[in-house]
Structure 1
Amino acid sequence: MKRFDGKVALVTGGRSGIGLAIARRLRDEGARVFTAQRGEDHEFEGIAADFTIPASASGTVEEVHERAGRLDVLINNAGIMQEALVEEMSLDDWQKTMAVNITAPFVMIKAALPHLRVCGGTIVNIGSIEGLGSNPKHAAYCASKAAVHGLTRAVAVDHSAEGVRCNAVAPGWIDTDLNQDFIGSMPDPAAFRRNIRKIHPVGRTGKPEEVASLVAWLASSESSFVTGQVWTIDGGRMAKLSLPQ
């Protein structure tokens, strides 16, 4: 028996990056996997969704239930990042970040809870180490991810007794295509790679598959006594104090 045989999972933003790794891991362990994002997904059962619109988020959950008859695992992974100082960021950009990064997970959870109660389902939210600290010009992103962590704890407190567990993971630097493209845009990509490795006690950056492994454990019955927690997965970066250069 695989851990997710007979179960149905929904992964938002499951077409690329960390979301794709999670979707593949759940599928490989037996789950029927739906993904939701803009555009088509040719690998999984994709649902077109615009997470700036709350009705699109709740409609995604209902479509999964209509097509599969159940929902066992909800992974809130979709997110956006916009760089700007507080004084520079428009209200529209701030609200767009909040809509995708925290309002959509709230709406997804609200819509999913009736279905998750039936099967003792699980929720895993994708937060960030930037919900714990901050990089420059990331005020909106940091605020939204800190909110994801808070929502995770609140949902666990309110609904774990109903059989619905809720946890979050807080990834650090992960080698997604987006991050690789960012490194490639640097004046000296090789030097940037060397420097970013140095800030990690493990001596390297992370892989999407490593995040997926943690998410799969949290979504499985193996973690049945774990709820309301934010699991940092960052190669020790947040544990390391910086020294003068």
Structure 2
Amino acid sequence: MTKQLKRFENKVALVTGGRSGIGQAIARRLRDEGATVITAQRGKDEEFDWIEADFSDSDSSERIVKEVIARTGQLDVVINNAGMMQEASIEEMSVEDWQRNLSVNLTAPFLLIQAALPYLRQTKGSIVNTGSTEGLAANPQHAAYCASKAGLHGLTRSVAVDHGHEGIRCNAVAPGWIDTELNIDMIANNSDAEAFRRDIASIHPVGRTGSPEEVAALVAFLAADEAGFITGQVYTVDGGRMTKLSHP
């Protein structure tokens, strides 16, 4: 049996959107490796210490960071995972909906990083942002989501460049199709769930979709001190989907 790593002992990690899906898997991985974990999202987290948060509200980020410091006295790891997706064509999407998508997926991480920087300087901390393969390519009717995730990838690089000299690292992961509850339910509600599941698996060279735990494993590595020479990178976690060309 592999010995459990303890890369985050005596460290405090903030995980936004940590109550479910990829965020929950990240929170669990960091906790299992020794971190004190606080999650931030709408609604109660039954598993972790948590903070109520509405990431469409520009005042939330500073309040969250101050609350983490009030509870723990330090901040070592910031995981910007909370996000939203709204399907609409460019012609159908209102400016208000466009702005809300960008507020949650891009402006909130920017503000959270901004608020966290004074404390991350003290701990030589790290930031990992949850981007998306849709920050690199696009699915239909996802203009706001794609734009916000591409922006988050750019923000990742900028933070790395501007604050690397202070010992602060910033990276991102770009997950593809991951078996979150939302995606599993979407498959189950399809008129031919088995065929849909086979079709989804077939577009991945590894022959399957991914798990939240597989994303969490990479996030934990990037957040850990052993990744100390890695910053400003966006790591695709997609089972090879983005690498595979369509026929012919």
TM-score bracket, normalised by the shorter chain, equals over 0.9
The partner residue of 2:37 within 24, 33, 40 is: 33
CA distance in 2, matches of 1:187, 1:88: 27
The partner residue of 1:194 within 198, 207, 213 is: 198
CA distance in 1, matches of 2:190, 2:98: 26
2:160 aligns with 156
Task: State the Cα distance separating 1:212 from its structure 2 match.
Answer: 0.2
Amino acid of the structure 1 residue aligned with 2:19 = R
CA distance in 1, matches of 2:62, 2:107: 11
1:141 aligns with 145
**Unmatched runs of 5 consecutive residues or more in structure 1:** none
**Unmatched runs of 5 consecutive residues or more in structure 2:** none
1:206 aligns with 210
Deviations 1:132-155 (A, max 9, x none): 000110000000000000000000
Q: Does 1:72 align with 2:70?
A: no
Deviations 1:127-182 (A, max 9, x none): 00000000110000000000000000000000011000000000000000011111
Aligned residues: 244
**TM-score, with structure 2 as normaliser:** 0.97
Deviations 1:103-130 (A, max 9, x none): 0000000000000000100000000000
1:118 aligns with 122
User: Where in structure 1 do 4 or more consecutive aligned residues deviate above 4 Å?
Assistant: none
| Aligned counterparts, 1:40-189, within 5 A | 40-189=44-193
Query: Aligned to 2:164, what secondary structure does the other structure show?
Result: helix
Query: Aligned to 1:54, what secondary structure does the other structure show?
Result: coil
The partner residue of 2:13 within 9, 13, 24 is: 9
1:230 aligns with 234
Task: State the Cα distance separating 1:183 from its structure 2 match.
Answer: 1.1
Query: Aligned to 1:6, what secondary structure does the other structure show?
Result: coil
CA distance in 2, matches of 1:111, 1:82: 27
CA distance in 1, matches of 2:61, 2:120: 16
**TM-score, with structure 1 as normaliser:** 0.98
Task: State the Cα distance separating 1:2 from its structure 2 match.
Answer: 1.2
Amino acid of the structure 1 residue aligned with 2:43 = G
CA distance in 2, matches of 1:84, 1:177: 22
CA distance in 1, matches of 2:219, 2:58: 25
CA distance in 2, matches of 1:99, 1:214: 26
CA distance in 2, matches of 1:225, 1:136: 37
Bigger mean CA deviation after superposition, 10-19 or 50-59: 50-59
Task: State the Cα distance separating 1:185 from its structure 2 match.
Answer: 2.1
Query: What is the alpha-carbon root mean square deviation over aligned residues?
Result: 0.7
Task: State the Cα distance separating 1:102 from its structure 2 match.
Answer: 0.2
Query: Aligned to 1:144, what secondary structure does the other structure show?
Result: helix
